[in-house]
């Protein structure tokens, strides 16, 4: 236990304690899972809005990071006795700052939840402050957090009360997985790279992309990483593939790459707030696809019960045809997800990323994210970076799948 992470306050006769998550005590009680299910984490009205099932592991979304911590807020004398009323997770890693392969140690704060019955009592802010103490102990220079632009209470908490600044505005793009495979692109070849090949490609071509993780090898070799796909503009390129080193020595004018992460074995989502008409229409599309599969009807999977997804990370490329090749990658990833039983494929791209135009998605299922950042130290390291919080955005951003 981290003694410095414990604090107690009283509000209206209820004593609140912030402490480190205790795996045996808290997991067995399922209190964290109940809290997760009571808190929507995105806009309702037909969007992916709730993590409903942590598959028995509340640490699943940070466990794969190099260093991680989970804190809970506990109401010691509430009407229901001792209960968990708040939770937050955090992890620390080293990432690129987008300036000539400069790296900085940063912390990511995620999964902040406060029980609806205990909000407006400063619990969320206290959880954030205590987590920031641990970030500083771990040597993090910056902390950042992602929230939905429509989540006004969350935006106010971080920007007005916790000292974070609005930083980047990537978009979460989501596409449903149909009952049938999508036809591969006739003008592209998709090659699957081994983890070592993928690492070499990412380090050579993406090491100066903002938030690129220095431990990309650990990400690519993780059991949840299902492989890396490289799209080339020549349809027969897969047959003449000579390895990633030959590719890097003489790359084609256009290419695109992405890796697949298996979120369905980490957490579940569901759509809440969708009108009955939407549900009926979705059932109708599935029935039509079953009756006439040769028509390729875009059948909407059942998103109204808990389901899993695949996430595309490391999406990038070069050349004028890169968006078209990104579309070929997405079609291939859709078919991989269909065979694995995932119901959606999602990715997150920067606001100015040119590959965004090639990513097929349904706007109603996606979201506009807001990344906020805060400098945790008074120094600027070796002086070459300056204040990253004031840096203008680049064209791309690397979204670590361990934190999605």
* Rounded percentage of the chain residues whose pLDDT exceeds 90: 58
Examine the domain organization and report whether 245 and 324 are in the same domain: yes
The candidate with the shortest Cα–Cα distance to 230, out of 124, 101, 326, is 326
Mean per-residue pLDDT of the chain = 87
Between 8 and 224, residue with greater pLDDT: 224
| Chain segment 363-378, per-residue pLDDT in tens | 988 889 999 999 998 7
Residue written as token pair 């599309």: 285
Between 141 and 117, residue with greater pLDDT: 141
Q: Is residue 379 part of a domain?
A: no
Domain that holds residue 155: 3-170
Q: Is residue 387 part of a domain?
A: no
Last residue of a domain, one of 153, 170, 187: 170
pLDDT at site 155: 94
CA 200/CA 179 separation, integer angstroms:
35
Name the β-bridge partners of 72. Answer: 19, 87
Examine the domain organization and report whether 227 and 280 are in the same domain: yes
Q: Is residue 380 part of a domain?
A: no
Q: CATH number of the domain that 113 lies in?
A: 3.40.630.30
Instruction: Evaluate if residue 32 carries a pLDDT over 80.
Output: no
C-alpha angle 378-383-384 in degrees, rounded to nearest 5: 135
CA 322/CA 104 separation, integer angstroms:
29
Residue 2 — pLDDT band, cuts 50, 70, 90? very low
Examine the domain organization and report whether 270 and 321 are in the same domain: yes
Secondary structure, 3-state, 92-125: EEEEECCCCCCEEEEEEEEEEEECHHHCCCCHHH
User: In the structure, how many helices (H) and strands (E) does the chain have?
Assistant: 9, 16
Examine the domain organization and report whether 158 and 303 are in the same domain: no
Examine the domain organization and report whether 209 and 147 are in the same domain: no
Count the neighbouring beta carbons within 10 Å of the beta carbon of residue 203: 14
Q: Are 397 and 352 in contact (CB under 8 A)?
A: no
Q: CATH number of the domain that 212 lies in?
A: 3.40.630
Q: Which two tokens stand for residue 154?
A: 């969350």
Measured CA distances, 286 to 177, 296, 298 (Å): 11, 11, 8
| Chain segment 142-188, per-residue pLDDT in tens | 999 999 888 899 999 999 999 999 999 999 999 999 999 999 999 99
Examine the domain organization and report whether 182 and 166 are in the same domain: no
Q: Is residue 377 part of a domain?
A: no
Strands annotated E in 31-78: 47-53, 67-78
Q: Which two tokens stand for residue 67?
A: 């260093």
CA 73/CA 58 separation, integer angstroms:
14
* Rounded percentage of the chain residues whose pLDDT exceeds 70: 86
Q: Are 340 and 332 in contact (CB under 8 A)?
A: no
Q: Is 20 exposed, middle or buried (0-12, 13-18, 19+ CB in 10 A)?
A: middle
C-alpha distance across the termini of the chain, in Å: 27
Q: What is the DSSP letter of 66?
A: S
CA 114/CA 69 separation, integer angstroms:
17
| Chain segment 315-353, per-residue pLDDT in tens | 999 999 999 999 999 999 999 999 999 999 999 999 999
Between 12 and 36, residue with greater pLDDT: 36
Q: Is residue 118 part of a domain?
A: yes
pLDDT at site 83: 82
Measured CA distances, 241 to 173, 193, 231, 247 (Å): 31, 11, 12, 8
Mean pLDDT of 183-201: 95
Examine the domain organization and report whether 219 and 327 are in the same domain: yes
Cβ-Cβ contacts under 8 Å for 135 (sequence gap 6 or more) = 90, 92, 107, 143, 376
Q: What is the DSSP letter of 153?
A: H
Examine the domain organization and report whether 124 and 207 are in the same domain: no
Examine the domain organization and report whether 181 and 84 are in the same domain: no
Q: Is residue 65 part of a domain?
A: yes
Examine the domain organization and report whether 153 and 209 are in the same domain: no
Mean pLDDT of 57-86: 81
pLDDT at site 56: 62
Q: Which two tokens stand for residue 299?
A: 């059948």
Q: Are 47 and 72 in contact (CB under 8 A)?
A: no
Q: Is residue 248 part of a domain?
A: yes
CA 308/CA 53 separation, integer angstroms:
10
Examine the domain organization and report whether 343 and 194 are in the same domain: yes
pTM over 0.85: yes
Total number of domains in the chain: 2
Last residue of a domain, one of 170, 202, 235: 170
Residue written as token pair 């070069």: 318
SS3 181: coil
Q: Are 203 and 370 in contact (CB under 8 A)?
A: no
Q: 367-375 and 165-168 as β-strands: parallel, antiparallel, unpaired?
A: antiparallel
Measured CA distances, 216 to 28, 107, 113, 195, 350 (Å): 33, 16, 29, 10, 19
Last residue of a domain, one of 135, 170, 205: 170
Q: Is residue 396 part of a domain?
A: no
Examine the domain organization and report whether 340 and 355 are in the same domain: yes
Phi-psi region of 283 (alpha: psi -120 to 50; beta: other; left: phi over 0): alpha
């Amino acid at each position: 236990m981290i003694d410095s992470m414990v604090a107690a306050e009283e509000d209206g006769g209820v004593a609140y304690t912030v402490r480190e998550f205790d795996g045996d005590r808290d997991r067995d009680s399922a209190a964290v899972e109940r809290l997760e299910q009571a808190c929507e984490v995105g806009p309702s009205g037909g969007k992916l809005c709730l993590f409903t099932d942590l598959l028995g592991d509340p640490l699943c979304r940070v466990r794969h990071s190099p260093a991680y911590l989970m804190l809970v807020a506990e109401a010691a004398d509430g009407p229901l006795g001792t209960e968990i009323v708040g939770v937050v997770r955090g992890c620390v890693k080293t990432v690129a700052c987008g300036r000539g392969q400069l790296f900085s140690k940063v912390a990511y704060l995620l999964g902040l939840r406060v029980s609806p019955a205990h909000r407006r009592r400063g619990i969320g802010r206290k959880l954030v402050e205590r987590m920031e103490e641990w970030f500083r102990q771990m040597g993090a220079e910056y902390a950042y957090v992602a929230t939905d632009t429509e989540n006004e209470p969350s935006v106010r908490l971080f920007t007005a009360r916790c000292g974070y600044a609005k930083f980047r505005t990537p978009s979460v793009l989501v596409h449903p997985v149909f009952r049938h495979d999508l036809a591969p692109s006739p003008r592209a070849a998709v090659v699957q790279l081994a983890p070592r090949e993928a690492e070499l490609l990412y380090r050579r071509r993406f090491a100066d992309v903002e938030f690129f993780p220095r431990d990309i090898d650990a990400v690519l070799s993780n059991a949840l990483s299902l492989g890396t796909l490289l799209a080339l503009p020549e349809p027969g390129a897969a047959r003449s593939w000579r390895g990633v080193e030959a590719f890097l020595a003489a790359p084609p004018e256009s290419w695109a790459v992405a890796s697949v992460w298996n979120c369905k074995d980490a957490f579940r989502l569901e759509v809440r707030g969708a009108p009955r008409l939407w549900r009926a229409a979705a059932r109708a599309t599935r029935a039509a696809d079953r009756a006439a599969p040769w028509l390729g009807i875009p059948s909407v999977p059942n998103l109204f019960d808990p389901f899993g997804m695949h996430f595309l990370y490391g999406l990038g490329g070069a050349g004028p045809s890169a968006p078209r090749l990104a579309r070929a990658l997405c079609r291939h990833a859709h078919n991989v997800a269909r065979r694995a039983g995932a119901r959606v494929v999602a990715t997150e791209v920067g606001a100015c990323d040119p590959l965004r135009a090639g990513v097929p998605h349904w706007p109603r299922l996606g979201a506009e994210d807001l990344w906020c950042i805060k400098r945790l130290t008074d120094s600027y390291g070796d002086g070459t970076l300056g204040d990253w919080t004031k840096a203008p955005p680049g064209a791309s951003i690397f979204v670590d799948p361990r934190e999605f």
